[in-house]
Structures are given as structure tokens and as C-alpha cells.
């Protein structure tokens, strides 16, 4: 029998493999034949009257145009180019209309709009949406109430010392980098001839800050100079992954695949079950799962942001959050807390290194406002009154928004009128921030980084902001979105960004290693800087 088993086992294994291959092949054939036929039927029937809108390509009558440009990391640029060629209203997918006008932006994203969050987000969530992902307005309101206490002003203020400790380590690391020294034997990001890539250091700092603030379990990336961290599967097994590459691969995979309708997205995920992107997504969820499980096992000495989640029934919250709900929200926090933060920091530092006169002006304002005892790592309370610091952040948001693509929304109820066009229920609509923020009709010298435009009452001969442009800044530069779907972590973000940028500018003089080259952007979901090669010279704080 043992001898027979030697033959039977491989045959059974081969049969199982063949069965899997047949299923995959069948799915591929269904995908390849069924999807074009389905889109052809949709185009011929045109239930939402979308044939009236121009498209950049016949491929844009399907999701494949968006998927292609998303896979290349240039979706935002392709949409912007389509608008420049075809006008303010463009069809960019089988059921998606993009509007590049200020009026449409307000009509799509404003309070009380008859427009809901698109299914795109719940598709990505794969059955367990967080507050930021759910399309249901009722469910969103419930989830937002659960998180509103977490982001209360007193809780954000209590997190400042944790951010400041991370920033102190960041400054020490950059001092070492500026001298060509490694942080440790495990340092993965070395300095060569005085040049180093600032982006991963800002990303490691953002990971350390969010894991400290939310779970009292700082990753310690800055201590080692690398981003290895634990990830835990649903079965409980723990392995080590590189956080940055894991996150980037996961979000890029999901961002391009989720342009498919939900049924085709699910089939696509089945076909690509063992792809690098999907496995990375599992690992990133596992990173959050590990943090949640460790936090539930131990209570920190001081409350963190996790402490404010309604995990137990109370008079105010009679229904506590389930583990799946907690995991969904924590995955989103680990996402936004690392990526949007590092993208914003890298973009701002790029602009300041690129324009030495703006850098010197900000440094002068900071040194004049802060006593020596509060340099270089100052509290947010000490920084809030420094208007030029906030102007640099806001202008960086405008010129290089962390999110360039228009957030998709779905028309509901009886339909709406957007920019004078009747849009039928079920249609996906969006307004791209990249095109809006660089609109010369709204902002003079729109592609230039000019923080002074945010300070209309300041006497500055270099730039004068008209009343109309100042109104436009308030109305249309909204990197945290607006309405009921606005980012709940806005105040936390400004606190962290202000402390980091102020410390880096006071501590070092920055130069671009390649001043004649534009910083390359790779759009995954956010528009991420690829790298920021710099030289940093340590300054005397006295």
C-alpha cells in the first residue's frame, strides 16, 4: 500500500493542480470574452445617456483606459490631458464622467449633495468597509460617530509629545546622513557622496508616528534605518515584511483593479489570487491585524488614540465596535497615517529645497518666533501662530496635491444637474484636484509655489493676492475634501506636518541633488513622490 501511495499522491496532487488550472483558464476566457461583450451591450443601450460626452479614446468607453493609466502610475496626468484636449466634461470610463470646472467641484462634493460615495471604495474594501470606504450615508454617519471622539482636540494635543519624540529621532538621523554615516548596521538607505533620498526617511517617520499615536507600539523604523515589521495572517501566523513596499504594492494593485465593476473585480481578484499585489494587500491588512491584536492584549501606561474607540457598550454607544470594524478602521488609519503624511511632507520639502529664498524666509520666521529652548522641535501650540509655515503647507497642497485624481462619487435618487448637464442616477462623477488646483483662471502663476498668495494682508512686494484669488484658495484648495466626507484626521495631519517641517527647516539647509530635474510622481491611489535626492547641511540653532 505504501508503494501505491507513492503513485496515488502525486496523481491526486496533479489532478488538483489540473483542476485549478482549468478553473483559472475558464475564468480567463470568461473575463476576456464576457467583459468586452458586457461593455458593448452597455454602450449600445446607453441607459444613462453618456454617449453625448467626448472620450479620449474608444478604450475609455470601458474601464480599461483608466486601468491602463492607473497601472502606469499616471492616471491623474492622463485625465488632465484629456480635459485640456476635449474640454471640461470628459467620459473617462464606461460609466464615469470627469468634470474639470470649479462649479462642478462644488456641486459634486458639497454638503447636502444628492451624490453618494461611489461603489469603487466598497469594492476595494472587499466586504469590510471602514468609515472612509462605506458608500452608505447612514453607515458612514454611525462609523464617523465612533471615530469622532478619537480625533477630538484634546486627544490630538495629547499625542504631540509622541510626534515630537519621533521628529527628534528623524533630525538625529538626518544629521548622521549629512555626515555620510549609517544609522545602524541594518540601515537600508545609505548616503553616497553627501546625497541621500529623504523620502523613505519621512515615510519611516510617518509610520513610527502613527503606530505610536494609535497603538502605543512604535515600529522603530528610525532606530534601525529600515522598515521591517510584523504581519499577522487571519490564522495567527506572524512573518516579517517591508512596510513601504508592501503598502505601495497593495494599494497600487487595488487602485487599478477596482476600476472594474464589482462582479468583474471579484473575478479579477480570483484570477490574480497569487499575484504580488494581492499578496501584498493581505500582508498590509496583516500589519494592522498584528497591531490591533497586540494592543488588545496590553493596556498602555498612557491613553493612545485606540483608547477612545468604543470597544465596550456604554450609554452613548450601546453597540460596541466588532473586531472586524476595528480592523477595518485601523487598516485605514495605518494607510492614511503613513502615506498621505509622507507624501505631503516630501512634496513640501521638495518645494522648499527647490526655492532657497522661500526656505530661508520660513527659517527666518521660525527663528524669530521661537526661543532657543523650543528649537528645533516645537509644539504645535507654538507653531500655529507662524502664518508662513501654514502658508507653505497649504501652497504645497495646492501645487502638488497628495491626491490628484478626482474622488469618484455616484449620482443617486432622481439624478442631478452638474455644470448644466443632466446626469442620470447611477452615473459615477468626479472632479480632479490636479486640474482644479493648477487652473490659471483660479490662481495666477498656478504652477508656481508661492506661499505668499495665502497671506493677502501681509505686505510683500513679491506677490499680491487679489480678493477673488483669496476666495478661490478657500473654496477650491481642499486636500482634505469637504462636506460630510471630509477627512476626519485633518487636525492631526496639520499638527504632525507642522512639527516635522518646522524642525527640518530650522535644523538643516536643504539643497536638491538634481536641481534641474522635476521630482517624479507615481500615482498609486495617492500621487506619491518616487524619490527626493537631497543634500542637508546642519545649522547652528543659536
Contact 430, 96 (CB under 8 A): yes
Contact 252, 524 (CB under 8 A): yes
How far apart CA 301 and CA 299 sit, in angstroms, is 7
User: How much is the pLDDT for 465?
Assistant: 85
Task: Tell me the three cell numbers of residue 342.
Answer: 509622507
C-alpha distances (whole Å) from 410 to each of 106, 140, 413, 479 are 15, 15, 10, 20
Q: What is the dihedral of CA 356, 360, 363, 369, to 10 degrees?
A: -150
Q: Which residues of the chain have pLDDT under 50?
A: 1-26, 29
Grouping H, G, I as helix, E, B as strand and the rest as coil, residue 116 is strand
User: How much is the pLDDT for 209?
Assistant: 98
How far apart CA 334 and CA 31 sit, in angstroms, is 33
User: How much is the pLDDT for 125?
Assistant: 74
User: How much is the pLDDT for 397?
Assistant: 97
Enter the pTM of the model.
0.91
Half-sphere exposure of 355 (CA within 13 A, CB side): 14
User: How much is the pLDDT for 9?
Assistant: 36
Half-sphere exposure of 296 (CA within 13 A, CB side): 15
How far apart CA 380 and CA 312 sit, in angstroms, is 32
CA 397 to chain centre: 13
How far apart CA 23 and CA 249 sit, in angstroms, is 26
- The sign of the dihedral angle between the CA atoms of 346, 351, 354, 360 is negative
How far apart CA 75 and CA 414 sit, in angstroms, is 30
What pLDDT, in 10s, does the model give residues 235-267? Answer: 999 999 999 999 999 999 999 999 988 888 888
Q: What is the dihedral of CA 157, 158, 159, 164, to 10 degrees?
A: 80
Domain spans, the chain: 49-538
Identify the residue whose cell numbers are 541633488: 513
User: How much is the pLDDT for 362?
Assistant: 98
User: How much is the pLDDT for 461?
Assistant: 62
User: How much is the pLDDT for 19?
Assistant: 43
Strand partners, 93: 96
How far apart CA 240 and CA 221 sit, in angstroms, is 13
How far apart CA 242 and CA 204 sit, in angstroms, is 11
Burial of 2 (0-12, 13-18, 19+ CB in 10 A): exposed
Write down how long the chain is.
542
At the topology level, CATH places domain 49-538 in Cytochrome p450 (1.10.630)
What pLDDT, in 10s, does the model give residues 333-389? Answer: 999 999 999 999 999 999 999 999 999 999 999 999 999 999 999 999 999 999 999
How far apart CA 62 and CA 259 sit, in angstroms, is 10
Q: What are phi and psi of 537, to 5 degrees?
A: -110, 125
User: How much is the pLDDT for 364?
Assistant: 97
Other CB atoms within a 10 A radius of the CB of residue 391 amount to 20
Half-sphere exposure of 258 (CA within 13 A, CB side): 21
User: How much is the pLDDT for 10?
Assistant: 35
Task: Tell me the three cell numbers of residue 69.
Answer: 493609466
Contact 488, 329 (CB under 8 A): no
Q: How far apart are the first and last CA of the chain?
A: 85
Task: Tell me the three cell numbers of residue 480.
Answer: 482634505
How far apart CA 519 and CA 354 sit, in angstroms, is 10
Residue 330 annotated as lining a ligand binding site: no
Contact 243, 227 (CB under 8 A): yes
Return the percentage of the chain with pLDDT > 70, whole number: 90
Task: Tell me the three cell numbers of residue 195.
Answer: 546625497
If you average pLDDT over every residue of the chain, what do you get? 89
R_g (Cα) of the chain, nearest Å: 25
User: How much is the pLDDT for 35?
Assistant: 62
How far apart CA 86 and CA 54 sit, in angstroms, is 7
Amino acid at each position: 500500500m505504501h508503494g501505491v501511495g507513492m503513485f496515488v499522491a502525486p496523481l491526486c496532487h496533479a489532478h488538483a493542480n489540473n483542476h485549478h488550472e482549468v478553473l483559472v483558464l475558464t475564468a480567463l476566457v470568461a473575463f476576456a470574452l464576457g467583459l468586452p461583450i458586457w461593455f458593448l451591450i452597455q454602450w449600445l443601450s446607453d441607459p444613462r445617456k453618456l454617449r453625448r460626452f467626448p472620450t479620449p479614446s474608444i478604450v475609455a468607453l470601458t474601464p480599461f483606459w483608466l486601468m491602463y493609466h492607473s497601472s502606469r502610475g499616471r492616471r491623474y496626468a492622463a485625465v488632465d490631458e484629456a480635459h485640456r484636449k476635449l474640454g471640461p466634461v470628459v467620459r473617462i470610463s464606461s460609466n464615469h464622467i470627469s468634470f474639470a470646472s470649479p462649479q462642478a467641484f462644488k456641486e459634486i462634493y458639497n454638503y447636502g449633495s444628492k451624490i453618494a460615495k461611489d461603489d469603487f471604495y466598497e469594492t476595494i474594501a472587499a466586504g469590510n468597509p471602514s468609515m472612509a470606504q462605506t458608500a452608505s450615508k447612514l453607515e458612514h454617519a454611525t462609523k464617523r460617530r465612533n471615530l469622532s471622539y478619537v480625533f477630538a482636540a484634546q486627544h490630538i494635543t495629547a499625542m504631540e509629545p509622541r510626534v515630537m519624540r519621533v521628529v527628534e529621532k528623524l533630525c538625529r538621523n538626518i544629521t548622521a546622513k549629512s555626515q555620510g554615516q549609517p544609522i545602524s548596521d541594518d540601515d537600508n538607505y545609505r548616503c553616497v557622496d553627501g546625497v541621500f533620498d529623504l523620502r523613505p526617511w519621512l515615510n519611516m517617520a510617518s509610520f513610527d508616528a502613527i503606530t505610536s499615536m494609535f497603538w502605543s507600539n512604535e515600529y522603530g523604523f528610525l532606530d534601525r534605518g529600515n522598515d521591517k515589521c510584523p504581519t499577522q495572517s487571519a490564522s495567527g501566523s506572524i512573518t516579517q515584511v517591508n512596510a513601504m513596499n508592501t503598502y505601495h504594492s497593495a494599494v497600487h494593485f487595488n487602485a487599478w483593479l477596482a476600476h472594474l465593476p464589482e462582479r468583474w473585480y471579484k473575478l479579477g481578484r480570483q484570477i490574480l489570487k497569487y499575484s504580488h499585489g494581492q499578496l501584498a494587500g493581505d500582508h498590509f491588512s496583516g500589519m494592522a491585524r498584528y497591531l490591533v491584536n497586540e494592543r488588545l492584549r496590553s493596556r498602555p501606561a498612557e491613553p493612545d488614540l485606540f483608547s477612545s474607540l468604543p470597544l465596550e457598550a456604554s450609554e452613548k454607544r450601546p453597540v460596541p465596535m466588532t473586531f472586524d470594524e476595528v480592523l477595518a478602521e485601523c487598516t485605514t488609519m495605518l494607510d492614511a497615517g503613513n502615506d498621505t503624511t509622507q507624501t505631503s511632507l516630501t512634496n513640501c520639502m521638495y518645494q522648499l529645497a527647490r526655492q532657497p529664498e522661500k526656505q530661508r524666509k520660513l527659517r527666518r520666521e521660525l527663528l524669530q518666533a521661537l526661543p532657543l529652548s523650543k528649537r528645533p522641535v516645537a509644539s504645535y501650540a507654538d507653531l500655529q501662530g507662524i502664518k508662513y509655515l501654514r502658508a507653505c503647507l497649504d501652497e504645497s497642497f495646492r501645487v502638488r496635491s497628495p491626491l490628484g485624481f478626482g474622488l469618484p462619487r455616484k449620482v443617486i435618487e432622481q439624478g442631478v444637474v452638474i455644470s448644466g448637464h443632466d446626469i442620470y442616477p447611477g452615473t459615477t462623477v468626479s472632479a480632479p484636484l490636479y486640474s482644479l488646483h493648477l487652473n490659471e483662471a483660479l490662481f495666477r502663476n498656478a504652477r508656481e509655489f508661492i506661499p505668499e498668495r495665502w497671506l493677502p494682508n501681509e505686505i510683500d512686494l513679491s506677490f499680491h493676492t487679489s480678493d477673488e484669488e483669496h476666495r478661490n484658495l478657500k473654496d477650491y484648495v481642499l486636500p482634505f475634501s469637504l462636506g460630510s466626507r471630509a477627512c476626519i484626521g485633518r487636525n492631526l495631519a496639520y499638527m504632525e506636518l507642522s512639527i516635522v517641517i518646522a524642525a527640518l527647516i530650522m535644523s538643516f539647509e536643504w539643497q536638491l541633488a538634481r536641481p534641474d530635474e522635476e521630482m517624479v510622481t507615481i500615482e498609486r491611489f495617492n500621487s506619491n513622490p518616487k524619490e527626493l535626492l537631497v543634500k542637508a547641511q546642519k545649522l547652528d540653532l543659536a
